[in-house]
Structure 1
Amino acid sequence: MTVGAVLPSLRQNLRLLPGVPDEDGAPRWLLFDPVRNKYFALSAEALYLIRHWRAGLAVGSFLLELKELGPDYSAEELAAFVDFIVSNNLNEARSVEDSARIYQQYRAQVLGFWRWLIHHYLFIRIPLFRPDAWLSRWVPRLNWLFAPVTHYLVISLGLLGLVLVVRQWDTFWSTFLHFFSLEGLALYGLTLVVVKSAHELGHAFAARRQGCRVASMGVAFLVMFPVLYTDTTDAWRLRSKSARLRIVTAGVRTELYLALLATFLWNLLPDGPFRSAAFFIATTSWVTSILVNISPFLRFDGYYAFSDWLGIENLQQRAFAFGRWRLRQLLLGLKDPLPEPQPRGRARLMVSYAWATWLYRFFLFLGIALLVYHLFFKVLGILLFAVEMLWFIVLPIWREVSVWWKRRRECSMGMSRLLFWVLATGLLIWSLLPLHVSVPVPAILKAQSEQTLFVSEPAAIAEVRVKQGDLVEAGQLLLRLESEQLNFELQQVEEEIRLAKLLLDRSGSSAREKAGRAITEQQYRRLLERRTGLLARQGRLQVRAPFAGRVTRIERLHPGVWVGTDMPLLSVVDPTRVHVEGYIGEQYLDLVGAGSKGVFIADRPGAAALAVEIRDVDIGAVFALPYGELGSEYGGNIAVRRIAEDRLVPEEGRYRVAMVLDAPIAAGIDARLPGLVKVEGEPRSWLWYQLRRMLAILVRESGF
């Protein structure tokens, strides 16, 4: 701006209001633009310029007048203030040049379709109506809602309702089941709309009672999910911090009051939709409202309350500047001055807040990216996921790293900073190097030959010839059982055989007797076959050892006890031949194979580690875990879920691994012993493995 330039005319509809003192206690004023419903904070120096503003006067003459009045302003200071007036369109536009400038500003703000979609698909605000006149009529009529008597009455009713609910807690909680139906979901949606409308009306009524204008109310779409909003920008004109805080917290307080009343009314209402709605308001509604609105990291009620409580306007923007300043100082040693003068404690607070917000936003945007991917059909989901990741996560990081690269010559590396970068570089190199991976394989050490013996048919114990721990030979008789029904059938068959044989011995030589003899011989042969079958069944009642070994897990059996076919009698194991059976996770399949070495570490305290070698890995995952002691339900390392009484299904793919011991166990083993096998897997790069996993997921999800 030249000295001969003239001062522009200020708009006549601008309003000058007293404002809140700044953070240092200096007085400030507010310049209100009613067209855009926007406030501008002015310092005492800026207010002095406006008070003596003379439109059409040359800049040089205005500076001389100011100097004669007392304050001495430089041409640069006045030029900056004029630029502020013009860029925010606070001046009157009466010339062609002014119209062209405003048009250019408008064109610069108009985004193309794709840029608009990127900027607004996460949050779109649509004003529905201007409630200020309606609020002005109703606020005087509803002042009783804000009276102390109402406050204490609602709290008293809520506490009374809570006491009554505790006395019938099971009935209260069972009301939740009503929402698992079409009618319940519709009721849930309607109740949610009513409660959130009351939340926004709480903001609106609180603002109007403080004399603030509520410019608009409407609906906003947060990741395509509709939420209500209330424009309470006019609250910035309030000089009382407590008054502004009452407006900010009015929505949450309204929901808490509704929850207290709903808790009391639940005890009075009969079973039905209204009682279910009271249950929802008393429980779910206010909890979700607090969790969303209380967070200071998003621009909701909690953020504005936190900013006002600290007395820091534009908290996030200013804190982010402090966060970048401190990050560059720590990592690069840049000697930049503070973004703005602040006490040491306040500066640390803003740095901590900025870093916490960045971390919170990283996981938030990552979650939103996954949400939009699953929310829309596949092509649009992939596109929105990529936009979310690139625009909100990758691009900000890239911009900051670009600044670091441009200013690399200004960096100063002290000993501690150099040590940090050396460690970071070493960590990166370590993640790239192919290193051996220790693969955990939950496993069972058990006898290779193990058999549990059952009886072939219901019978009674006649004789027990072994006890727990006895060594037996193959074929040795262990138990002798008898069946009265079988003995009766065998005795009956023997008698029929004797009679048939007697008939055959007495038969004559006539033709008639010869024909009867043939029938008797056929019956005699059938009786002999039946006796052979009965004798075989009787032989199976003599329980013998299937192989040489040791008797384990024998039941408490004694003569006279009846046993059924589903009752295990005893087990025989060969303690000299043992092997290990494990179940490996899907992510480790490419690291192990036949011949891989490992060590079995038993869960039993004091047990020695055993060297093992993988013999075989199944090509298909198991459908159910055969050994319950390896599952998480029984303290094992494999996460499982129970789908039947005796069926445990692994949560992730598990593959059976057969392993043999490198050396036999001298003492042998009588029972299954759970443990963990540490297998030395093939070397691989951790970073390359993670990249491969991400690429595999992208390839899998990109299939149509």
Structure 2
Amino acid sequence: METLTRPKLREGLEVIRGMDDHPLLYDASSGIYHRLSRSAAGLVQRLDGSRSLDDIAGLMAARGTKTPEAARTELDRFVKNLYDSGLLDGSPTPQRARDAGRRGRRNQMMPRFVVSRTLLPRLLEPLAAVLRKMPGGALAGGHIAGGVVGTVLAVWALLAGPSADPKLAHWTTLLALVLFLGQIVLHEAAHAMVAQFLKVPVRGFGFALLFYFMPLAYVDRTDAYRLRSRASRVVLALAGPVNDGWVAGLTALVATTADGTVATVAATMLVFQLLSVITNLNPLLPSDGYAALEAGMGTVDARGRAFGLLKHTLLHRPLPSHLAALTPAARRLHLAYGALCTLYVLVLAYVAVVGTVFSYGSVQGMWGR
């Protein structure tokens, strides 16, 4: 096959330096980033269609410690991976790249639907330009400190403050839920604001269905891979939960100082808000907490590798090269993480089913009376 005899990268591919100064191969047609080793980054520059695989293997052997045969074996594996990923001229485009630009797509068990790709960057840039004149570390530190204090206040208010008035619960719960949906929008806007400040604007915003049934707002922060600093990526990932802490703190103040309907709505909102903080920081879900942990450790798609390794192990299938390259210790760690995530999702599903059955039985009992 000529594609694999004299390989040539597709048009629209760019080698850049991103996270932790690692080289990345950016595919402009799909918006996907492919992480490269430092040796692979130099190798892809030679894939211009003018050299045969034997020529390239000879150069690899001359500049390294491998024999020509070992260099050719490694090169064949690398070129085959590029071909399977749709990155070479003449290679078929993989399904995930074809789906990347569609309005609805799957990502970690979440179909996503884009509302707008340009509105948030246009709205946020004027404020971001002003904030960039201030010390970034001080802004991040103040924001995080306020979010932590707000969360502590919310816990205190929920435990020590007045409880919701059951006489008003039939409609105040609905009102609290509507207000909480507005907070979710603010959560995503916080992510978008930090991304705009760091000059990696979000690609769009919309809504997603976590596990195909739980509605969530989201912003596309894919270009965060361009950020070299781990600290910047962690701050970007935590911007939403930290903002939730600020809003929860304000809600706590209302719940403890107001009375009547306002206090009841605020007390109900505190429950939603604290559950949201716990969920968003849970590393067993595709959450902001998981994204922050991944950014802080410098890893990429740990969940994807864990589930892929778990699937191939259970089905006794040969491992793809990127999983086969894991050390035995890393393989055991990924398997344990994948098993924990799977068990957690099963427990959530069980609780959701039991809760639904219980609610249905309660409604039936009420109607029966």
TM-score surpassing 0.5?
yes
Task: From 75, 87, 91, give the equivalent of 1:90.
Answer: 87
Q: Which residue of 1 aligns with 2:363?
A: none
- The 8 Å contact of residues 3 and 58 in structure 1, kept in 2 or not, is answered as no
Out of 88, 107, 112, which is 1:125 matched to? Answer: 112
Could you tell me whether the CA contact under 8 Å between 2:116 and 2:206 is conserved in 1? yes
Aligned equivalent of 1:205, options 180, 193, 211: 193
Compared CA separation, residues 321 and 191, structure 1 to 2 (3 A): closer
Mapped pair 1:216 → 2:208: no
- Matching residue of 1:80: 77
Structure 1 pair 133–322 and aligned structure 2 pair: CA distance change class (3 A):
same
1:357 aligns with 2:341: yes
Change in 2 beyond 3 A, CA 1:354/1:151? closer
Give, in angstroms, the shift of residue 256 of structure 1.
0.7
Q: 1:315 aligns with which of 295, 302, 318?
A: 302
Q: Distance in 1 between matches of 2:351 and 2:151?
A: 38
The TM-score normalised by the length of structure 1 is 0.41
CA distance in 2, matches of 1:107, 1:156: 38
**Corresponding residue for 2:247?**
258
Matching of residues 101-500 of structure 1 within 5 Å: 101-102=92-93, 123-130=110-117, 131-141=120-130, 147=139, 151=143, 154=146, 172-174=162-164, 177-181=167-171, 184-222=172-210, 223-266=212-255, 271-273=260-262, 276-281=264-269, 283-319=270-306, 339-342=324-327, 344=329, 349-367=333-351
* SS of aligned partner of 1:139: helix
Q: CA deviation at 1:320?
A: 5.0
Tell whether 2:51 aligns with 1:52.
no
More contact order relative to length (CA 8 Å, sep ≥ 6): 2
Distance 1:367 1:277, change over 3 A: closer
Post-superposition shift, 1:228?
0.6
Q: Quick check: 2:3–2:88 contact (8 Å CA) kept in 1?
A: no
The aligned residue for residue 483 of structure 1 is: none
User: 1:14 maps to what in 2?
Assistant: 13
2-structure distance, mates of 1:324, 1:201: 36
Evaluate the alpha carbon distance shift between residue 293 and residue 155 of structure 1 in structure 2; reply closer, same or farther with a 3 A threshold: closer
- Structure 1 residue 365 displacement after superposition: 4.2
Q: Does 1:35 align with 2:32?
A: no
Bigger radius of gyration, 1 or 2?
1
Given that 1:123 and 1:221 are in contact with CA atoms closer than 8 Å, whether structure 2 keeps it comes out as yes
The 1:190/1:155 distance shift into structure 2, 3 A limit, reads: closer
- The 8 Å contact of residues 265 and 278 in structure 1, kept in 2 or not, is answered as yes
Following superposition, the deviation at residue 197 of structure 1 comes to 0.7
Contact in 2 for aligned 1:325/1:339 (Cα 8 Å): no
> Secondary structure, in 3 states, of the residue corresponding to 1:229?
strand
Secondary structure in 1 matching 2:201: coil
* Counterpart-to-counterpart distance in 2, 1:40 and 1:75: 22
Instruction: Kindly indicate which of the two structures has a greater share of residues assigned to helix.
Output: 2
Instruction: Quote the Cα distance in structure 2 between the aligned partners of 1:45 and 1:149.
Output: 37
Structure 1: segments with no counterpart, 5+ residues: 22-26, 111-115, 329-337, 377-704
Give the CA deviation at 1:214: 0.9
C-alpha change, 1:221 and 1:375, in structure 2 (3 Å) is: farther
CA contact (8 A) 1:154 1:257 kept: yes
Q: Deviations over 1:237-286 (max 9, x none)?
A: 3232222221222111111111112223445657555x5554444x1232
In 2, distance between residues paired with 1:202 and 1:56? 48
Q: Is the 8 A contact 1:3 1:60 kept in 2?
A: no
Tell me the CA shift for residue 292 of structure 1.
1.8
Q: 1:156 to 1:123 in 2, by over 3 A?
A: closer
> How many pairs does the alignment contain?
340
Helix, strand or coil at the partner of 2:81: helix
SS at match of 2:33: strand
Structure-1 separation of matches of 2:282 and 2:38 = 35
Which letter does structure 2 place at the counterpart of 1:6? R
Shift of 1:124: 2.2
Listed one character per residue, the Cα deviations across residues 659-686 of structure 1 (whole Å, up to 9, x for unaligned) are xxxxxxxxxxxxxxxxxxxxxxxxxxxx
Q: Write the distance in 2 (CA, Å) between the matches of 1:200 and 1:139.
A: 15
CA RMSD, Structure 1 to Structure 2 (Å): 4.6
3-state DSSP of counterpart to 1:47: helix
**1:242 partner letter:** A
Identity %: 22
Question: What is the letter of the counterpart of residue 39 of structure 1?
Answer: Y
- Code of the aligned partner of 2:42: Y
Paired AA for residue 343 in structure 2:
L
CA distance in 2, matches of 1:190, 1:138: 27
1 CA distance for matches of 2:31 and 2:112? 15
Taking the aligned partners of 1:252 and 1:76, their CA distance within structure 2 comes to: 47
Give me the whole-angstrom Cα distance separating, in 2, the residues matched to 1:198 and 1:108. Answer: 30
Kindly tell me: are residues 108 and 343 of structure 1, through their superposed partners in 2, closer, same or farther at Cα, counting changes over 3 Å? Answer: closer
Kindly provide the amino acid, as one letter, of the partner of residue 243 in structure 2.
T
Give the strand-richer structure, 1 or 2: 1
The residue type equivalent to 2:45 in the other structure is R
Q: Secondary structure at the match of 1:52?
A: coil
Counterparts of 1:159 and 1:62, CA distance in 2: 57
* Ranges in structure 2 where 5+ consecutive residues have no aligned partner: 316-322, 361-369
Conserved 8 A contact 1:192-1:285: yes
Deviation at 1:353, TM superposition (A): 2.6
With over 3 angstroms needed to count, the CA separation of the structure-2 counterparts of 1:2 and 1:63, relative to structure 1, is farther
Normalising to structure 2: TM-score of the pair? Answer: 0.71
1:79-117 per-residue CA deviation (whole Å, 9 max, x = no partner) reads: 333333333333456xxxx6xx44xx559989xxxxx99
Q: Equivalents in 1 of 2:152, 2:241: separation in Å?
A: 21
